[in-house]
A and B are shown apart, each in its own frame.
Chain A
């Protein structure tokens, strides 16, 4: 399943004095199975963009196309897009609940959406809303919980008594349970300790390996470096770069977008600037770097 965006514009408070343009002509194509990280300053339009992907916000101009769904707030445009198409599509595009089954969105600090008295009930809530039977929902919830690494000891616990990292995993399971093909996460690692972060990212990588498309907003460049396949840089409501992580670190001045360069990359650049002779292009981990240093040192010793 491909996600396409065509010249999306979104304006908050359109008819008011405090109107502000959050998206200003954004176009993109996301492929099935991709792991996309969206980075950029606060206020660059990242959260607005991902909210248009499951129709929580409808673009003022332009549209997002996912399978048979056309997401736009422009009624004229929508009418044109849906012309000559079948009735089912029209119905699907009226309220987007079927779309939300396909595209799951996990908000920043998702633990604030928990409300049930037990973990299992909270995770079952999504599938039940999407019309699955109670048994199906339970199976789906159990699978989602095991995907995020929570076993049966947790099922009957109150979600409010869990730790921060556990709450977040329950909330993510709440979205996974409906088995969406695309999972969008807004800063999944914010406010977590290193262990929690690694655990969450491990879950996400596993999901990506199963063929799910992941779209992750983050400020953490180590997430970009270690997990992303594609990275998008946003600034002032526009996509300014779409590239692979290595190229991003090599070619783009990240400080311009208030982004931090990972230590490893900084170190590589320092080595290069100080006349390191080895081939730094292919090196992507500390082990590779050590090997390269040993290789050069060895060849020098031999020479």
Chain B
């Protein structure tokens, strides 16, 4: 069973060495960059001609720059493209769903500005606006997937947990026991492979009792899943009982102050990366403001006039 997100690969690249807290920060910044609007808000230009291509041209151009940045990070971090393509496998159903809906029913303020590619005799049509909108959403999702994949394949799960713990620290001022959340996350991460192995064993055991997990209608499938879920839950409870006793015996105190064997350290290179990230964020916010407020497209900075 492959999980959607990439497994951690223990390599020695600058991205791997980066502080986990910074990587989470970078993930958030680049995701924000994915979702900023990079288009003029007006769709009709001064001569009264609709600019629907211009609208999307700027967006796609900027997202293209972002994709290039992410691509470079992928190369530096030696993230496998195979696992990236594999993770895309998980969302193709969603993409088809989006395609069907957005191509036929584009989001718009008034129907007059729609630009049909084909109009069917019964009044339905496929619109340029829908196709471009759909591409826009899909591109954003793919970029986000790539970002999370980079994070999970370059950062050990425990490091992610420590980083999340660090981000949650302010909550402890409100007397929220953040260390318990961290413990829960790290235990959950620790037991994913164990439970996968257990479920595979149970599936095999039920198969030899004649269960076919792939065949049958929905009712048969529900029945066969029950034969997996119930034993899995039973063994989950017995594991958690054993685990809690084992932790108790070794002196675990939920509200006590905890120290870590591995301490996250912020290095000089991390500071440099932090500054680069801020510059990137600034650049994208600048592009966003320019397009939204001053109606200047990206290429117009280079003296190229006109819309698409």
Q: Give the interface of A toward B (CB within 8 A).
A: 51, 54, 56, 95, 97, 100-101, 104-105, 107, 110, 112-115, 125-126, 129-130, 160, 174-175, 178
Evaluate contact between B201 and A112: CB separation under 8 angstroms.
yes
Chain B residue nearest to A160 (CB atoms) is B234
| Residue pair B231, A97 in contact (C-beta under 8 Å) | no
The answer to whether B234 touches A175 (Cβ under 8 A) is no
Check: B186 CB closer than 8 A to any chain A CB.
Answer: no
**B residues 197-231 with Cβ under 8 Å of A?**
198, 201-202, 204-212, 215, 226-227, 230-231
User: For the complex, is B235 an interface residue (Cβ under 8 Å from A)?
Assistant: yes
Contacts of B210 in A (CB 8 A): 97, 100-101, 126, 129-130, 178
Partner of B208, one of A100, A112, A114, A115: A100
CB within 8 A of B207: which of A100, A130, A160?
A100
Q: Given contacts A100-B208, A178-B209, list 11 more A-B pairs with CB under 8 A.
A: A51-B204, A54-B208, A56-B207, A97-B210, A97-B212, A100-B207, A105-B208, A112-B202, A114-B231, A126-B210, A175-B209
Q: Mark B174-208, 1 if CB is under 8 A from A, else 0.
A: 00000000000000000000000010011011111
Chain A residue at smallest Cβ distance from B232: A112
Tell me which residues across on chain B come within 8 A of A56, comparing CB atoms.
Answer: 204, 207-208
Residues of chain B lying within 8 A (CB to CB) of residue A130: 210
Residue contact B208 to A175, C-beta cutoff 8 Å: yes
CA distance A110 to B206 in the complex (A): 10
Query: In the assembly, what is the distance between CA of A265 and CA of B193, in Å?
Result: 42
Chain A residues with CB under 8 A of B202: 112-113
Interface of B is mostly: helix
Task: Give the number of A-B contacts (CB < 8 Å).
Answer: 55
Are A107 and B212 in contact (CB-based, < 8 A)?
no
A105: chain B residues within 8 A (beta carbon): 205, 208
Contact A113 B234 (CB under 8 A): no
A113 touches B212 (CB 8 A): no
Q: Which of A95, A101, A113 has the most CB of B within 10 A?
A: A113
Q: Which residue of A lies closest to B234 (CB)?
A: A160
Give Cα A54–Cα B235 distance, bound, in whole angstroms: 25
Which B residues touch A126, using CB under 8 A? 209-210
Residues in B with CB closer than 8 Å to A100 are: 207-210
What chain A residues lie within 8 Å of B212 (beta carbons)?
A: 95, 97
Note all chain B residues with C-beta closer than 8 A to A175.
208-209
Shortest CB–CB separation between residue A141 and chain B, in angstroms? 12
With A115-B227, A160-B234 known as contacts, the answer to whether A129 contacts B208 (CB < 8 A) is no
Indicate if the CB atoms of A129 and B209 lie closer than 8 Å.
yes
B209 with A112: CB separation less than 8 A = no
CA distance A259 to B208 in the complex (A): 29
A92 to chain B, nearest CB (A): 14
Across-interface contacts of A95 in B (CB, < 8 A): 212, 215
Bound Cα distance A56, B235 (Å):
22
Would you give the shortest CB distance from B78 to chain A, in whole angstroms?
14
Cα of A125 to Cα of B227 in the assembled complex, Å: 10
Mark each residue of chain B from 146 to 173: 1 if its CB lies under 8 Å from any CB of chain A, else 0.
Answer: 0000000000000000000000000000
Shortest CB distance A284–B (Å): 35
Q: Which residues of A contact B235 (CB under 8 A)?
A: 112
Can you list 18 pairs linking A and B with CB atoms under 8 Å apart?
A56-B208, A95-B215, A100-B207, A100-B209, A112-B198, A112-B201, A112-B231, A112-B235, A113-B202, A113-B231, A115-B226, A115-B227, A125-B227, A126-B209, A129-B209, A129-B211, A175-B208, A175-B209
Chain B positions 57-105 with a Cβ under 8 Å from a chain A Cβ: none
Q: What are the residues of chain A within 8 A of B198 when measuring CB–CB? A: 112
Contact B205 A110 (CB under 8 A): yes
Beyond A112-B235, A115-B231, A125-B227, is A107–B209 a contact (Cβ under 8 Å)? no
Q: Which residues of the other chain, B, contact A160 by a CB distance below 8 angstroms? A: 234
Within the assembled complex, what's the spacing in Å between the Cα atoms of A46 and B224? 28
Chain B residues with Cβ below 8 Å from A104 are 208
Chain A's closest residue to B207 (CB) is A56
Q: Which residue from A107, A115, A129, A174 sits with its C-beta under 8 Å from B204? A: A107
Given the interface pairs A107-B201, A115-B226, the reply to whether A174 lies near B231 with Cβ below 8 Å is no
Cα distance A129–B227 in the bound complex, in angstroms: 12
Task: Kindly provide the distance from the CB of B216 to the nearest chain A CB, expressed in whole angstroms.
Answer: 11
Residue of B nearest to A126 (CB): B209
Q: Given A97-B210, A129-B210, A130-B210, verify A107-B205 contact (CB < 8 Å).
A: yes
Contacts of B230 in A (CB 8 A): 115
> In whole angstroms, how far apart are the Cα atoms of A240 and B227 in the complex?
38
Q: How far is the CB of A99 from chain B (nearest CB, A)?
A: 10
Q: Which of B206, B215, B226 contacts A113 (CB 8 A)?
A: B206
Chain B neighbourhood of A54, CB < 8 A: 208
